[in-house]
């Protein structure tokens, strides 16, 4: 029996891969593939969590939330997972390949000893073990990771967050990442590729992953989810940062509120300015050249610079959030009053020439508060028409 371990990296379509594995379980089983479920049904995060050094405190919130507070309990957590995995694999019939997937292998296992701990958990059940890893330009990864961090409660400005983007940070040092997995599992067992649409089979991360693991199923039979875990646009980021930094708003947010923000304000966010991008990109030149030579057998650059096209800040969006925030507090913390329809309507009108999508979202909220407002209904029809026309272009 073979094992395939998908280790990310983070921000390379891992959620899409995991959803495809989960939602096509029956199809995979018929073809002899089994997606492990004992460490999480979509993201097998418990594998990397259990293999972290006991002296590390960066994921203490997970362990304390589950009543794991001592080194002895951490050890028991590891042993229990190991037993569950052995039992899971031993119960399989007519399966030739087991699949494990978690992008947190990339972020949580930061030294060789921790990767060796994971290998020990796997035991001697598999005839071969392949490690699948996708890499993305570090600056693009950082900007996308920033959006995720805001969704999970951070309120830092991007200018502060990007200071973490350096070769000294294990999260962004792909040479160290691949070297430690190579040291434990062997370089020949690493399957490394770039997260770039032009580089993926059918320009699709799921198709590419299935191709790499040799799962061949008719395209029409594969269940595909809508794109998930998308980045927030600039307004969405400003909104969540304001909410995250306000101590009067209870955390975590109501799931309906989180879903609304995630859905209505998804898209491309503000970017770093050109000089900052160049500085960040250049600092990875040496290690990326080494990765290209060592793991791709190429002397050409692994990543090409992609200078930001979007304006890196949107002062108008920031002002809109400031204008709206008293209303946002009330909407989250209590019931709404008709007067707040005026606030939503007026700010939407201010924004209609610059950010039509955001204006539409705000006017929709005003419509929910005051469904019969004539100006609100008229503007909502206008915005809907403008958006539809823009979509056709």
Interval 360-374 mean pLDDT: 87
Q: What is the pLDDT of residue 39?
A: 97
Q: Tokens 């900007």 appear where?
A: 143
Q: Label residue 139 exposed, middle or buried (CB < 10 Å: 0-12, 13-18, 19+).
A: buried
Q: Tokens 């296992």 appear where?
A: 109
**Per 3-state DSSP, what percentage of the chain is helix, strand, and coil (rounded to 5)?**
55, 5, 35
d(C-alpha 114, C-alpha 120), whole Å: 10
Task: Flag whether pLDDT at 230 surpasses 60.
Answer: yes
* Domain boundaries 2-136+170-216, CATH class: alpha beta
Q: What stretches of the chain adopt beta strand conformation (E)? A: 2-6, 33-35, 97-101, 128-135, 190-194
Q: Tokens 């930001």 appear where?
A: 308
d(C-alpha 32, C-alpha 262), whole Å: 36
**What are the structural domain ranges in the chain?**
2-136+170-216, 234-271+314-392
pLDDT in tens, 28-80: 999 999 999 999 999 999 999 999 998 887 777 788 888 888 999 999 999 99
Q: CA-CA distances (angstroms) from residue 392 to 181, 357, 384, 386?
A: 47, 15, 13, 10
Q: Which residue has the higher pLDDT, 303 or 152?
A: 303
Name beta bridge partners: 132: 6, 191
Task: Flag whether pLDDT at 227 surpasses 80.
Answer: no
User: What six digits make up the tokens of 68?
Assistant: 């794991």
Q: Three-state SS across 216-262?
A: CCCHHHCCCCCCCCCCECHHHHHHHHHHHCCCCCCCCCCHHHHHHHH
pTM: 0.82
pLDDT in tens, 92-139: 999 999 999 999 999 999 999 999 999 999 999 999 999 999 999 999
d(C-alpha 379, C-alpha 40), whole Å: 46
Q: What are phi and psi of 132, to 5 degrees?
A: -100, 130
Q: What is the pLDDT of residue 30?
A: 96
pLDDT in tens, 291-347: 999 999 999 999 999 887 765 566 777 787 778 777 777 666 655 566 778 888 998
Q: Tokens 């350096």 appear where?
A: 166
CB atoms within 10 A of CB 197: 11
* 58 CB-near residues (< 8 Å, 6+ apart): none
pLDDT in tens, 19-37: 999 999 999 999 999 999 9
Q: What is the pLDDT of residue 269?
A: 72
Interval 157-171 mean pLDDT: 94
């Amino acid at each position: 029996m073979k094992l395939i371990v998908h280790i990310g990296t983070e921000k390379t379509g891992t959620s899409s891969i995991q959803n495809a594995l989960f939602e096509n379980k029956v199809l995979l089983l018929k073809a002899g593939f089994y997606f492990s479920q004992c460490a999480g049904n979509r993201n097998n995060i418990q594998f990397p969590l259990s293999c972290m050094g006991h002296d590390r405190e960066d994921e203490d919130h997970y362990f304390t939330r589950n009543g794991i507070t001592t080194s002895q309990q951490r050890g028991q957590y590891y042993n229990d997972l190991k037993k569950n995995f052995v039992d899971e694999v031993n119960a399989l019939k007519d399966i030739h390949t087991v699949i494990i997937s978690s992008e947190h292998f990339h972020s949580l296992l930061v030294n060789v000893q921790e990767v060796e701990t994971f290998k020990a958990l796997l035991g001697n059940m598999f005839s071969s073990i392949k490690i699948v890893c996708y890499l993305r330009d570090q600056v693009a990864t950082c900007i996308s990771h920033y959006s995720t961090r805001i969704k999970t409660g951070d309120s830092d400005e991007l200018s502060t967050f990007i200071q973490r983007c350096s070769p000294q940070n294990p999260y962004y040092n792909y040479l160290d990442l691949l070297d430690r997995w190579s040291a434990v599992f062997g370089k020949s067992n690493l399957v490394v590729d770039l997260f770039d649409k032009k580089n993926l089979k059918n320009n699709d991360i799921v198709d590419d992953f299935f191709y790499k693991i040799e799962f061949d199923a008719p395209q029409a039979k594969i269940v595909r989810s809508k794109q998930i875990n998308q980045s927030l646009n600039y307004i969405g980021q400003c909104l969540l940062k304001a909410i995250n930094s306000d101590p009067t708003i209870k955390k975590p947010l109501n799931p309906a509120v989180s879903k609304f923000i995630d859905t209505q304000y998804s898209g491309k966010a503000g970017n770093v300015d050109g000089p900052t991008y160049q500085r960040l990109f250049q600092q990875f030149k040496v290690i990326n050249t080494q990765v290209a030579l060592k793991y791709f057998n190429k002397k050409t650059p692994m990543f090409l610079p992609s200078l930001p096209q979007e304006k890196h800040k949107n002062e108008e969006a920031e002002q809109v959030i400031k204008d709206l925030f008293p209303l946002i507090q009330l909407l989250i913390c209590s019931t709404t009053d008709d007067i707040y329809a005026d606030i939503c309507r007026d700010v939407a009108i201010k924004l209609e020439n610059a950010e039509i999508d955001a204006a539409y979202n705000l006017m929709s909220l005003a419509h929910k508060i005051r469904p019969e407002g004539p100006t609100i209904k008229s503007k909502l029809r206008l915005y809907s028409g403008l958006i539809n026309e823009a979509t056709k272009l």
